[in-house]
Structure 1
Amino acid sequence: MFVNLLKSKLHRVRVTQAELNYVGSITIDEDLMDAAGLVENEQVHVVNNNNGERLITYVIKGERGTGIICLNGAAARRAQVGDIVIIISYAMMTIDEAKTHKPTVVFPDDNNRLVNT
């Protein structure tokens, strides 16, 4: 049997762009992707703290070091620039794997930059 557990999350990142006329997805700074263990095209859930919207989409690599968090296509209707979102990924694992799994949680600063904690 497999269970679906939290793999990683980017906690409270700020939306920097919303591009309606684009094929749907979310563009994420590659530094943030690396820190959270996200890979390009991976499915993620996006939760908007400002308006309660939730959506499922996939990741596109954004330029490293820019702090970009851009909702593309129809997802751009679910957030405004400046909104705070949580980006969540999940992983399927066996019950035995789940018992020892520790998710990665990243807490960027107010400019979506990694901070040393």
Structure 2
Amino acid sequence: MATQKELTRRRANRVRRSLKAVANGRPRLSVHRSSKNIYAQVIDDAEGRTLAAASTLDASLRTSLKTGADVGAASAVGKLLAERAREAGVTDVVFDRGAFIYHGRIKAVAEAAREGGLNF
């Protein structure tokens, strides 16, 4: 019987595999959430390096947020990531939700990144 950790890893790999098929060379906007924080990064899979990253642990966000685990914090991370990605010259990405459903904090990051100028 598969453990919960194995099932989560399978779901994330399934999502990532389908994204790589349609990416057409675009970088991947990967989102991870924990119970206390949210992390997002733009990854170039061809070169294997991170182009831009943001999280609720960043010094610029940490002081202005009440907590790192709500929709408001996720929106702030999405806006900051979009700004940093545009500075790195990235405008088109594919959204990698990982093993998380597109709801709540994950959706807030995606919508804020779109408002910040990223296309996906």
When normalised by structure 2's length, the TM-score is: 0.28
- Greater fraction of residues in strand: 1
Pick 1 or 2: higher relative contact order, CA cutoff 8 A, min separation 6.
Answer: 1
- Greater fraction of residues in helix: 2
When normalised by structure 1's length, the TM-score is: 0.29
